[in-house]
Amino acid sequence: MAAGRKAGAVVIGSGNIGTDLMFKIERLSERLSMAAMVGIDPESDGLARARRHGVATTAEGVDGLADLPQFRDAAVIFDATSAGAHERHAAFARRHGKLMIDLTPAALGPYAVPTVNLDEMHFVDNVNMVTCGGQATIPVVSAVARVAPVAYAEIVASIASRSAGPGTRANIDEFTETTSRAIESVGGAGIGKAIIILNPADPPIVMRDTVYCLVEDSPGRERLDRNAVARAVRDMVARVQEYVPGYRLKQDVQFDRLDGVYVPALGRTFSGTKVTVFLEVSGAGHYLPEYAGNLDIMTSAALRTAERILELREGVEL
């Protein structure tokens, strides 16, 4: 990509997530510009807004991209559809040599969490953004794991029911499975578990996440340095806030001593420290309402991921 020239981005999916992502690319990105938006409903609000902003559109799914000259030079495709549709979209992107950023829980490619493992994604052509709960909580699990080994981590993501569209509701099982695996493989926990709650409160509440980490006593190792853990969590929260301003720690990190407590997930008794972190995520209001922090953190993380991978490919340091 020539100096000063932005790379083209295609968004597949003209729903809430895809439309919010389009606005973020156009308003916030110094490296990307919208090349096209893809949908299947010609009357969707997302496609209508894209057309009004001068963005090329097609309502023929990815098959319609071949007819758009703007697609030829695009570098990145964002998939904001569903886990079931992603396999076909991923194959399409691979055929055309485009970087695929997957916002569905399909998990065909490696998991990407901007503050944890992006520098490992240099040559990857399809990366998965885990889930909204994963993007909100895995950085915290990773922060704790960098101080001491985490035997078990459990996250509870509570989102406004009104912010959970058909795609989110259809992918609940994939959400829990994908997030649980990523807590282990990216967050560094020995065993991970994820729970999602659709909160019907009216007016809707913003996204709230609770992270529980069990750090086990280990022979020959000093007891957990609580100050180091609290500092690591605060530092990680600050790093996530760089691309998700509405991400915040709700209160000080909590520590509880546990001795000989049976933990079903471990299948044995546990002695050590339970670390509890309470988080809140509100949206930036680019397209979605403020309470939809669960969607905002996904689009923000996807944008940061695409930008960083392009930088890595070009040998550009942050």
Catalytic residue numbers read 132
Closest CA to 128 of 81, 170, 79, 58: 79
Residue 171 assigned ligand-binding role: yes
Residue 51 assigned ligand-binding role: no
Question: Cβ–Cβ contacts within 10 Å for residue 89, how many?
Answer: 25
Residue 142 assigned ligand-binding role: no
Residue 16 assigned ligand-binding role: yes
Let me know how many helices (H) and strands (E) the chain has, helices first.
Answer: 10, 12
- 214/257 Cα distance (integer angstroms): 10
Q: Torsion angle, CA of 212/236/314/57, rounded to 10 degrees?
A: 70
Contact 82, 108 (CB under 8 A): no
Residue 164 assigned ligand-binding role: yes
Q: Please state whether beta strands 268-281 and 254-263 pair in parallel, antiparallel, or not at all (unpaired).
A: antiparallel
Residue 128 assigned ligand-binding role: no
Residue 246 assigned ligand-binding role: no
Cα 129 to Cα 89, 107, 139, 149, 255, distances in angstroms = 15, 8, 13, 24, 30
Question: Cβ–Cβ contacts within 10 Å for residue 99, how many?
Answer: 22
Residue 133 assigned ligand-binding role: no
Residue 14 assigned ligand-binding role: yes
Residue 157 assigned ligand-binding role: no
Residue 29 assigned ligand-binding role: no
Residue 181 assigned ligand-binding role: no
Residue type, position 223, single letter: R
| Annotated binding-site ranges for NAD(+) | 14-17, 163-171, 294
| Annotated binding-site ranges | 14-17, 163-171, 294
